Chains A and B, each alone.
Chain A
Amino acid sequence: MRALVLLVNRMAWFVPTLLGLLVITFTISHIIPADPIAFIAGDNATAEQIAALKAKFGVDKPVYIQLWNYVLGVAQGDFGVSLYTQRPIVDDLTARLPATLELAFVAILLSAFIGIPLGVLAAVNRNSWLDHVLRVFTVSGLAIAAFWLAILFQLLFAMELGWTPLQGRVDGWGPDVITGFFLIDSAIAGDWDIFWDCVAHMILPAITLAFPAMATVMRFTRAGVLDAINSNYVDYQQAMGVPRRVVIWRYVLRNALIGTVTQLGLIFGNLIANAVVVEAVFDWPGLGLYAVNSILQSDYNAIMGFTLVMGTVFIIANLLVDIAHGLIDPREAR
């Protein structure tokens, strides 16, 4: 019931929050001194040519009218046209969202599959050399600049050793798009050459992104396991003669993971933030790269479209985490 109240409460704020986000990004993007119209008109454009384009894109109208028109459009699912590529923003975003989601998903999986066992190991062997090594690893993961790590990986694995491609998502055209997730699409098509090529391209950016996420997962798993180990419940189980190994993996981990799961919102947020720069380094054709390029090109509509989608994804992610949290720990659901 509390969860339901929370859900309704959050949903009520969903639209106003997005609207506020829209106003902020609109303000920011429209006071940019750049003249994107002059840019798209080209090197040799004339004043008349620019005026015609301005009229076409409606940027010759007062700013508040532009905002109003934009909001009206968004309400109808129309995010406008990219000033730069002249394609509908919706097309650009839907083409790029799967690339970012695929990368983020693989990175989260990596960080969970490596971070959770390591976190348990660290907790079980508390204060051993292993714990200390892993702790250094955790602290490093959160201190390293993602773009620098990306460059180091490229330098070592792509340039010097030649084990992985330097950047990009696939060599050439990729599989026929069904879901937009190349790993899945190539597997469906049974095209294993492309599948492995996608895997090869995925390795470096996914590890770069997973590194700080893994550190967070490990940290919370370790803390959760330690709390659980110290609980009366575990003492009871052990007293009942259940082997320690079984207690840890079957009972303790389940409880410990709750803490980790509720941190997923934070992990996801950091992951997306890092994706913006990591995609730029690896030329990964996702939303992050799209955002950086749009901002650098002052492509108003693209910036706002990106912010809206990102805000929606973020709000939904936080909502899910809040609900999970509310279900687990009723005190939080004020």
Chain B
Amino acid sequence: MRLFDYAPGLGRLAAAAVIAVGAMATPAAAGGKFVFANSSAYDTLDPHAVFDVGRVASRINLYDGLMRWQDNPPKLQPWLAEKVEISDDGLTYTFTLRDATFHDGSPVEASDVVYSIDRILELKKGAYSLFEGTIAKGSTKAPDAKTVVFTLSKPSAIFLATVPEIHVLNAELVQANYNGDDLGTEWLSKNDAGSGSFMLKRYDPAIGWQAERFADHFYGWDMVEDPLDEIEFRTVVEINSRVLGLMNGDFHGTDGYLPQDQVKRLRDSENVYVDEQESMRIFYSIIHHGRFPMNDLNFRKALSYSFDYDGFINNILSGSVARDPVPLPNNMWGAPQDVEGYALDLDKAKEYLAKVEGDIPEITLGALAGYGQTEQAAALLQNGLNKIGVKTKIVAEPWPVASGKMRDEQQMYDLLFLWKSTYYADPNNWLGEMYACEQIGARNSSWYCNEEVDKLLSEARVSTDQDLRRANYEKANKLLMEDAAGIFVYNTKWFGPFNKDVKGVRFSPIGNGQEMRWVSMD
């Protein structure tokens, strides 16, 4: 057995694990109420039903996991777990729990963790796919109230990185609220059964939710001066409403991916400051490799040389993002630092185009309706391709339509502009999902399968040797770029706007700065 030693930068968790914990209910002076304007609606509060960045706040504020991603670059911290031991074969993970209580006062026990992972596996929603094939239902055991043993069906280098998504539910409370065999989904969609830093107070799917500070939270409140008493996450779809509300003080924070013109307005406002951070959310175009002419490297190079990266990043986005020539965010380990990506060069594009054999049909450029940036990128590419004599048509469809097509080889667009966000901070989140052969038709919507790349990725997915993983990912990135597997454009910066009274925001690409327990207000 060896103690957890996962990756540099993640710290030696076992050693760092004993963080001061004690019963320290601190009914501090009124810390105020924080209102966050959220761009998407909280349709359900069930932490196992959804797994998206837009609705992360209900998961990380109302619930706890064994581990938690924090700060930027993201570090994996022990959370409900005090320590974790990993067996030498990399198959057995033994977590030891801290003393913690649920919102109803009952203790958090190992059986609750077992119930939670089994519920995820049975529900088959949200983060289920992260654990599918790695953990079998019923394989997780609780030898005693404080110990949880996960036994993987096959080695996985990313398992620990995905543990934060196992949000721990109060098993008894949920089971008492089953409606038939629904595993409590109906009840959990509007109630809370967690142990998180805040307790749900009010919820309306059309408005949002409110929660109050949980004084008995295991982590205590000593380290925060004047912690918040109440938080509210309200759904405000329209960008202008979020911005205006922030400027006149109705809201204290909103999402950090606003258009630059709006960020400029916010910066000029006396009530607001903008916290700028490197994030991990790449913007790229999927290229459908299963179809002519995209299966021809020369054509893909012509595509990559026809996009005006500079005009897009510096003019349309006012330089608010960083050029990223590979499919991995350039601030993630495993991203090669010494590559020069493609740039707009129509002469080279024509040169490569001339080498393509056969008549080139009209190319369909997909974009996401309602996401202006994807349409603008498609229009810009169309502009470039026009000039080298490639006919294109743009199809902007809503995300439900696009995501359906992404799973169907026949219906998938020739190209599709979109983002890939951080679900867990490991290169596999990008490369392994986007370009591994076994993911074809699921998360690999490029129908891309390159033996050399695939070997590097599968090796890295199971290996526990950090140096090997890093080397593999760096090499895979380079190969993917040379192969023009997609049109890789930029990595996002996060411009988190907050009211000037707000202090202590801890941004992490996984939680988007929405873990509110660290925040205080003047």
Which residues in A have some Cβ–Cβ distance to B below 8 Å?
32-36, 38-39, 41-49, 52-53, 84-87, 95-96, 154, 158-159, 162, 165-168, 171-174, 283, 285, 296-298
Contact = CB atoms under 8 A, between A and B. Distances in A.
Contacts of A167: 238, 241
Given A159-B244, A166-B238, A298-B401, A42 B206 contact: no
A166 B403 contact: no
B202 interface: yes
Given A38-B407, A39-B399, 19 more contacts: A33-B404, A33-B405, A34-B397, A39-B404, A43-B52, A44-B127, A45-B128, A45-B129, A46-B124, A48-B124, A49-B128, A53-B124, A96-B206, A154-B240, A167-B241, A168-B241, A172-B234, A283-B241, A298-B401
B189 interface: yes
Contacts of A171: 250
B242 to A, nearest CB: 10
A52 B129 CA distance: 13
Contacts, number: 114
B404 A35 contact: yes
B51 A296 contact: no
B170 interface: no
Contacts of B132: 46, 48-49
A140 B442 CA distance: 52
A44 B51 contact: yes
A42 B126 contact: yes
B442 A46 contact: yes
Nearest to A84: B43
Nearest to A51: B124
A95 B189 contact: no
B124 A39 contact: no
B237 interface: yes
Interface of B: 43-44, 49-52, 124-130, 132, 185, 189, 202, 204-207, 210, 232, 234, 236-238, 240-241, 244, 248, 250, 369-370, 397-401, 403-405, 407-408, 411, 423, 433, 441-443
Task: Tell me if A's interface is mostly helix, strand, loop or mixed.
Answer: loop
Given A42-B51, A86-B189, A159 B240 contact: yes
B352 to A, nearest CB: 33
B207 A172 contact: yes
A297 B400 contact: yes
B241 A52 contact: no
A49 B403 CA distance: 15
A242 B8 CA distance: 98
Nearest to B237: A283
A283 B238 contact: yes
A56 to B, nearest CB: 10
Nearest to B210: A173
A39 B405 CA distance: 10
A51 to B, nearest CB: 9
